[in-house]
Structure 1
Amino acid sequence: MPSTSTTVTYLFDPLCGWCYAAAPALQYLQGVDGVDVALAPTGLFAGPGARPMDAQFAAYAWANDQRIQQLTGQPFTQAYRDHILGAANGRFDSGPATLALTAVAHTAPGRELDALHALQRARYVDGRDTTDAAVLADVLNTLGLADAAAMVLAPDAGLHSAMAARVANAQATLQAVGARGVPQLVVAGQGEALRLLSGDALLGPREQLVALVRAAAAD
């Protein structure tokens, strides 16, 4: 087992289809000895980045999702198309899911990646609306994360401030490494210099991903 731990910062948005495609690689990476995955939600589709789910955007999203499924095998179901993309008065807004993940980070930080993957499955496979606090709380309760679920149902100013700080830090990291969009991986190398690994690394062979992380940490 490695004597030191390497932290890989995962820059993502819970409503990003390519981030969902990267879920199996993140799960694998989390299980590698000496590697810690730290989640950094960027707020890409929250706040000013949120928008109504109109027919034009839904069609664009479905076409993109089908391409992701063909390339990666991650499923986007008819339930998702009907109940999320086809929802009347629906919203494309990652703020609520980001708030839920922040609640997990505060109450059970070791489970945050599990929670992210569960929220992604709830949306893309089960067709559940992860902009709805009741849905978010139910998913967290199913994972045994009752404290986080309670925070989601009654969020206070402290939780909102914590989410805003996480998003600001993630955006600062994106700027520091000159990256645009998500998913992205950032590794702290020798002397704490930040090394950017392209999100494409998450879609390639797992052994190659680990090798890239090790090399970036040693650089």
Structure 2
Amino acid sequence: MSVSTLHYIYDPMCGWCYGAEPLIEAARAVTRIEAHAGGMMMGPQRRPVTPELRRYVNEADQRIAHLSGQPFGAAYKDGLLNDTGAVLDSEPPITAILAAEQVASQGLELLARLQKAHYVEGRRVAERQVLADLAADIGIDRDAFERACDDLAGPATKEHVVATRALMNRLGATGYPSMALERDGAFTRIELAPYLGRPDAWLEFLGQHFTIRQEV
């Protein structure tokens, strides 16, 4: 029997990826997921919080909440989005997720935790101390995490993003989140949008169409 792998292309600062988080959690229970971060707000694309950004984000968040049912907390809506000292930067969270995966195979767990920290708790998830606290929240050894972040920051993170963008080009994926199933070296794109807010239907879809490897 061939083993199927779901490839999940995401960005930690992408609201639609937060909307898809229940789908990722559901899929993780039944099959292997390989995560690829795309660097949506990285380098020259990083953004300080401004009134213009706040208006744009608020409109998108309303659509995401409506379709996915995911909560957006007051600390985020009334706090972080009014914090002109905050910067939306994908790179530090990507480094942290890579470190969590390297140290404890908990990259996706940290992604989910930092999404909650950002969208519900209104925390500055581009800051190293916040990321270390979040890693500790999910049981990752802080010292090991910090060392891995030091090793993976900069060139290693950028190499990961370059590889992700190459995969996106291969798949014809143009945004986040994107997903594909790999089986026997062949990739099939999967549309997540119809399943937002419908994790049970998503699991039924996976079970009907693909050979799912049960985790032991």
**Fold in common (TM above 0.5):** yes
So what's the TM-score if we normalise by structure 2? Answer: 0.88
Which residue of 149, 163, 167 corresponds with 2:161?
167
> Relative contact order: is structure 1 or structure 2 higher (C-alpha 8 Å, sep ≥ 6)?
2
Check if 1:134 corresponds to 2:129: yes
Letter in 1 for 2:9: L
C-alpha distance in structure 1 between counterparts of 2:129 and 2:189, whole Å: 36
Q: Is residue 116 of structure 1 aligned with residue 116 of structure 2?
A: no
CA distance in 2, matches of 1:148, 1:199: 34
User: Would you say 1:58 and 2:51 are equivalent positions?
Assistant: no
Aligned to 2:189: 196
The letter of the residue matching 1:9 is: H
Which of 175, 179, 195 is the equivalent residue of 2:173?
A: 179
Contact 1:136 1:149 in 2 (8 A): no
Q: How many pairs were matched up?
A: 209
For 1:82 and 1:48, locate their aligned partners in 2 and report how far apart those are by CA, in whole Å: 26
Partner of 2:14: 16
How does 1:149-164 map onto structure 2 within 5 Å? 149-151=145-147, 155-156=150-151, 158-164=152-158
Which digits, 9 at most, give the CA deviation of each residue in 1:188-210, with x for residues without a partner?
134x1221112325424223441
Residue 211 of structure 1 and its aligned partner are, at CA, apart by 4.1
Contact 1:12 1:183 in 2 (8 A): yes
State, as a whole percentage, how many aligned pairs show the same letter. 30
Instruction: Tell me the SS of whatever aligns to 1:74.
Output: coil
The Cα RMSD (Å) is 2.2
TM-score by length of 1: 0.87
What runs of 5+ residues in structure 1 fail to find an aligned partner? none
